Structure 1
Amino acid sequence: MQWNDVPIVRRGQEIRFINAKNTPIPGRQLIISTVMDVTERKRAELALEMSNKKLRNTLESMVETIAEIVETRDYYTAGHQRRVAHLARAIAFELGLGIDRVSGLFMASAIHDIGKIAVPIEILIKPTKLSDLEFGLIKTHPQAGYEILKDIEFPWPIADIILQHHERINGTGYPAGFKGEEILIESRILTVADVVEAIASHRPYRPAKGIETALEEIKRNRGILYEPMVVDCCLSLFKEKDYQFPFL
């Protein structure tokens, strides 16, 4: 029998932590009991946990600040990013991704269009169809976002998730033309959430098309442009679990 990290409190003294173990001796009516003081290790673990928590809080604040900067420049992008982050997180949980990876995905999704800072505002809010040249400028935003974030030491691949969020599993996306599992699963999730929200919502150049049209798009291109298991989870959320975008 073994007990790990058991807190021991002595009257009027500090808390200590011990590991204890009872080991029977085969063939004899004897038990060897060993006790080890692991207080210093436990304190170091608790200190590291606290430090990591503070770091996460700092990173979350940084992401919120970046999102707010985008919002002051382009209202449509900001509301879109927050709704996409909400849906991407729901899909990730539905897929069974661990809480740590979900946290990273949520942060990346909340600023996935940060690269649009490098795109002229006149193009972002243009109420008519974009020219080929203008669309070419729009297509630079994943790479621009990557360049902005690549040197920040996040505990998740935030810059890479953002870089790949316009890739498609058949290789027709951009900027690199990655296929299938060459694309991070977080990016494949973000792609679907991004497409669904963009189609369902109002844009400067067109009215909202609605959620049914958005879901039909990912269903039609399931396994072609979009990761099948991600599409299935997204459809399940809306069709079976009454998921709705948050009102922002």
Structure 2
Amino acid sequence: MSIRLAKLYAAGNTHRVAGLAEAIGRGLGLDASTMQGLRISALVYDIGKIAIPAELLTKPIALSAWEMALIKSHGEVGYEVLSEIDFLWPVAKAVRQHHERLDGSGYLHVLEDDAIIVEARILAVADTVEAMTANRPYRFAKGLVEALEVVSAGKNTLFDGAVVEACLALFREKDYSFPQSLTRHGGSSS
């Protein structure tokens, strides 16, 4: 995949995750200020990937342990970049935590339960669903049904139960869908 196509994918990925995260936040009844912070966090949640070589982000085969460790560092890199900006919201913290899981099985800091902020809990679900419904260089999209099954199976163990329920309601009851013009491109792993 070319670097140009990787950039196009990243933009589409970010907008799909941000749109879903916002819809989940509305479903949870978050206040306007928290919603604004969530939107900003979702638009920059993968900014740390600027430190990852494009060849890794677009590699069409499985990554080595070292390459995967480098990919996993993107949350910390994003935190370092964003912590220099004086946001009104915990944007840098949300970016740092978006791969954490309630049971401590996530990464970077192996946080659990209430140590993970709500914005990161929402990003975790939105990113997982988006990642599974979009093509990647190393696999075709798994599809929405499988994505929703994965987050549903992880409800209250990997993912926040209320966030999962809000996400499921969007797709199953409110006919939410990702914009079609942004879902046709392959791209990097999240």
- Indicate whether the TM-score tops 0.5: yes
Counterpart check, 1:177 vs 2:110: yes
Q: Is 1:228 equivalent to 2:151 in the alignment? A: no
CA distance in structure 2 between the aligned counterparts of 1:147 and 1:100, rounded to whole angstroms: 23
Give the Cα–Cα distance (whole angstroms) in 2 for the partners of residues 131 and 158 of structure 1. 30
Larger Rg: 1
Q: In the alignment, what sits opposite 1:109?
A: 42
Cα deviation, residue 78, structure 1 = 2.0
The aligned counterpart of 1:95 is: 28
The question of whether the paired residues in 2 share the 8 Å contact of 1:112 and 1:145 is answered with: yes
Give the equivalent residue in structure 1 for 2:58: 125
Q: Which protein is richer in strand relative to its size?
A: 1
What amino acid is aligned across from residue 160 of structure 2 in structure 1?
A: E
With structure 1 as the length reference, what TM-score do the two structures score? Answer: 0.70
- Alpha-carbon distance, 1:161 to partner: 0.7
**Aligned CA-pair RMSD:** 1.5
Q: Give the direction of change, closer, same or farther, for the CA distance of 1:166–1:202 in structure 2 (3 Å limit).
A: same
Distance 2:109 2:64 in 1: 22
Which residue type is aligned with residue 156 of structure 1?
A: W
Q: Deviations over 1:122-151 (max 9, x none)?
A: 100001111111111000000000001101
- CA-CA distance at 1:75 after TM superposition: 2.7
How many pairs align? Answer: 179
Paired residue for 2:75, among 114, 119, 142? Answer: 142
AA aligned to 1:90 is: A
Which structure 1 segments of 5+ residues have no match? 1-69
Which digits, 9 at most, give the CA deviation of each residue in 1:148-186, with x for residues without a partner?
110101111111110000000001111111101110011
- 2:4 and 2:119 map into 1 onto residues whose CA distance is 23
Which residue in the other structure is 1:202 paired with? 135
| Ranges of 4+ aligned residues in structure 1 off by more than 4 Å | 70-73
Residue ranges of structure 2 left out of the alignment (5+ in a row): 183-190
- Give the 3-state SS of the residue equivalent to 2:12 in structure 1: helix
- Asked if the contact 2:6/2:58 (under 8 Å) is kept, the reply is no
Separation (CA, whole Å) in 2 of partners of 1:82 and 1:169: 25
Give, as a single letter, the amino acid of the residue that structure 1 aligns with 2:68.
F
Contact (CA 8 Å) 1:74, 1:124: kept in 2 or not? no
CA shift in 2, pair 1:71/1:165, >3 Å = farther
1:111 deviates by: 1.3
Give the match for residue 191 of structure 1: 124
CA offset at residue 71 of structure 1?
Answer: 7.9
Percent sequence identity over aligned pairs: 47
Structure 2 length normalisation: TM-score?
A: 0.90
Q: Deviations over 1:14-56 (max 9, x none)?
A: xxxxxxxxxxxxxxxxxxxxxxxxxxxxxxxxxxxxxxxxxxx
Structure with more contact order per residue of length (Cα contacts < 8 Å, sep ≥ 6)? 2
Distance 2:4 2:80 in 1: 20
For 1:240 and 1:157, how far apart are their aligned partners in 2? 31
Report the AA paired with residue 27 of structure 2.
Answer: E
